[in-house]
Amino acid sequence: MEVPIQAALFLGIIPALFLMFICLKGYDSYYKDKLIFLTFIAGIILGVIAAVVRLRIIAEPLVIAFLILYAFFEQLFKTIILNIGRFQLKKETVIYGLSLGLGFGSSFTPFLIIVGSLSGASSYFYLSIIGIGSIGFILFHAATGAYIGFGIYKGKMMRYLLIAILLQIPFNIIADLTRSYTSVYFSFYQAGLVLYGLIFFLYVVKKVMPQIKEDNDKRKSTKN
């Protein structure tokens, strides 16, 4: 059973835009609509490149060198975009990092679903589970995008980039375990992707992003 590329693409973009709509509430003064749109599109383009590279490189499951390489490669992509001159030391970089990460993560959905649809074990059940598991990619990459953006805002880019890479290695391990589509643990691993991504996403949204508001309030009170 084959899935149209356009349909698979929207399955990633729609939940990413929904998450963006929710997360941007209360941050209206911290971003420009044009840059949110551009960073989201840039994230999609970078995500497509990363997904193609990940699928093209042939490696044995759970080879730690490749899991680290993927993590470094994907997080470095986001950092290069977020570390351009106009974003450095700016609190809005956190918001643009979120947008970039949402676009980046949404790109994996069509690739995961299409690869699953072309596999011998493809079925509506497996493709549905893959679609659900791909939400974990969106959540995780959105969180790491905002997290790296926060590091750039604080002038501690290398520290936050390194932490993002280290956090992605366990995520990659879980993702690598899902290669066996006939495994009885397949659904368990896909749920693991969502749970892992959700935990880090909630941490960033609830604990990291609000700090730009707190810093802003402190600066206002100091001036007064």
Q: What is the DSSP string of 161-209?
A: HHHHHHHHHHHHHHHHHTT-TT-TTHHHHHHHHHHHHHHHHHHIIIIIT
Place 99 in a pLDDT band, splitting at 50, 70 and 90. very high
pLDDT in tens, 186-196: 778 888 999 99
- The answer to whether 150 and 30 have CB atoms below 8 angstroms apart is no
Q: For residue 12, what are the CA distances in angstroms to 134, 151, 198? A: 8, 27, 16
Instruction: State residue 130's pLDDT score.
Output: 78
Domain borders along the chain are 5-24+43-217
Instruction: State residue 69's pLDDT score.
Output: 87
In sequence order, what E strands does the chain have?
none
pLDDT in tens, 40-76: 999 999 998 888 877 766 555 557 778 888 899 999 9
